[in-house]
Amino acid sequence: MTAPWIKLGDAAGVAAHGDYLAGRAPDATGAAIPVVVQNFQGALKAFRNVCSHRYALIHDRPCGRGLLRCPYHGWVYDAAGVPIGIPFDDSDFRLDVEARRRLALTPVGLAVASGQVWVNADAAAIFTEPA
């Protein structure tokens, strides 16, 4: 079984920098995966909506505007899903660039069609617009 494409919401909801849509998309086993689509300077990016540090939900509302920041410890992620803002990094973690890349959020499939945002738990999935 392959993971299905799920309509997350209107593209107008993620039109400005910092706008996001969050929801759940089933994976190939049917498990509901939390996902987020975030606008970064006009480019939409989609990830699993789970912090790579303590696995908390990053955005707990279905839509809004703000940084891709985990509410648990305040980790902030960039457009590649890499943590760029880690409180106490110098004293507690001391993560170099490669270590941060290994902690990047997991990407998910993303498509925008007919004014709608679609996501797929499988980042490699190929989108075909429904009839």
**Structure-token pair, residue 59:** 């955005």
pLDDT of residue 25: 97
Report yes or no: 121 and 28 within 8 Å, Cβ to Cβ: yes
For the domain with range 6-120, which CATH number is right: 3.90.1300.10, 2.70.150.10, 2.102.10.10, 2.30.30.360? Answer: 2.102.10.10
Predicted TM-score (pTM) of this structure: 0.91
pLDDT of residue 88: 65
pLDDT of residue 126: 96
All structural domains of the chain with their residue ranges: 6-120
Sequence-separated contacts (24+) of 30-36 with Cβ below 8 Å: 30/1, 33/108, 33/121, 35/8, 35/108, 35/119, 35/121, 36/68
Q: How many CB atoms lie within 10 A of CB 114?
A: 9
In the chain, pLDDT over 90 holds for what percent of residues?
76
CA gap 58, 36 in Å, rounded: 8
No. of helices (H) and no. of strands (E), the chain = 1, 9
Question: Any idea which of 38-42, 81-85, 110-114 has the lowest mean pLDDT?
Answer: 81-85
